[in-house]
Amino acid sequence: MNPDAQLALSAFFQYLKIEKRASEHTLKSYQRDIKQLTNYLLNKQLSNWTSVKPLDIRHHIASRHRSGISSKSLQRELSAIRSFYNYLLKKHLIDSNPAKHIHAPKQERKLPKVLDVDQVFGILEATPDSPLEIRDLAMFELFYSSGLRLSELANLNLADIDITEGFLRVRFGKGGKQRDLPIGSKAIAAIKKWLTYRPETIDEALFTSNKGLRLGQRSIQLRLDRWCKKIGLPEHVHPHMLRHSFASHLLESSQDIRAIQDLLGHSNLSTTQIYTHLDFQHLAEVYDKAHPKAKKKKFSSK
């Protein structure tokens, strides 16, 4: 880049550091991302920022994508480029932002991992050997029974559950939203059993440590991992897999996606619709295994 272009770039990084108080990590990230653009422009013999057009930015991002850079990384790079050009606009050094309407390729949406019904039953029907394992099973039953997020389960208080009526209240769901959820009979029985062992404490938490303190999210994750290893489950299981399994199994049985949206506390139906892909994937696997025309024929070598 020419000296004026280099000076503008240096001034931008100073602006981020001093005026925006960006962290060292953010600064390095911006420097790395804009260096990629700089290298591309130099190869195209573009030596100043004013000569860069939207097509140049689009070609740069496309070339990065072809080299194997993920959509998420490209979104970050575009964000850095837009920020830089917005700074140049603010300083009246350019007339328009060439990256304004450029978007990264859409990231392929990964399907959440779920457990099959037999795996869930294997987790929930194993026999506990201690009060802490009785507590753990009550937590795991509640995950699967009500489709709770990890944070929602960790934040549950005694006052949030009504064992007689069979429901619980999530006071602080995602986005601060509150919702009421049913509790299955197996989970109710497991909670009742845990409450006979729960330490006397001033802490309002439903699930506590043996010292009577609220159990944190990391501790819950570790207890589930420990339990699955104990019962010999080969797959790594995290709490959200029980939530995903709840949604997938319920959709498979009911086909009522709107109800599942409400139970999961999703603001947008599109978030819940990922479970329809899981349901179709399951049906496709059943079809491939069972349909006579789907089975591959074996031919003899005669």
**Kind and range of the H or E element at 182?**
strand 179-182
- C-alpha span between 136 and 85 (Å, rounded): 53
Residue in the structure block whose two tokens are 């949406």 = 109
Q: How far apart are the first and last CA of the chain?
A: 70
Instruction: State the DSSP code for 126.
Output: S
Residue 255 has a pLDDT of: 75
pLDDT of residue 215: 95
Is the domain defined by 3-90 classed in CATH 1.10.150? yes
Q: What does the pLDDT read at residue 152?
A: 93
Give the residue ranges of DSSP H helices in the chain: 3-18, 24-43, 54-66, 71-90, 117-124, 131-146, 150-154, 185-195, 217-230, 239-254, 257-264, 269-272, 274-290
Cβ-in-10-Å burial (0-12, 13-18, 19+) of 14 comes to exposed
Amino acid 234: pLDDT: 79
Tokens of 219: 């501790």
pLDDT for residue 287: 46
- Distance between CA 134 and CA 152 in Å, rounded? 20
Give the residue numbers annotated as catalytic, written as ranges. Answer: 149, 174, 240, 243, 266, 275
The span from the CA of 260 to the CA of 269, in Å, is 9
The CATH number of the structural domain formed by 117-289 is 1.10.443.10
- pLDDT at residue 291, rounded to an integer: 47
pLDDT at 70: 86
The domain segmentation of the chain, as residue ranges, is 3-90, 117-289
pLDDT at 298: 44
pLDDT in tens, the chain (302 residues): 788 889 999 999 999 999 888 888 889 999 999 999 999 998 888 888 988 999 999 999 998 888 888 888 898 999 999 999 999 999 999 899 999 998 887 766 666 788 888 899 999 999 999 999 999 999 999 999 988 999 999 999 999 999 999 999 998 787 778 888 999 999 999 999 999 999 999 899 999 999 999 999 999 999 999 999 999 987 889 998 898 888 888 877 777 778 778 788 777 776 666 666 655 454 455 445 554 545 544 444 44
pLDDT at 290: 53
Cα–Cα distance, 31 to 84 (Å, whole number): 10
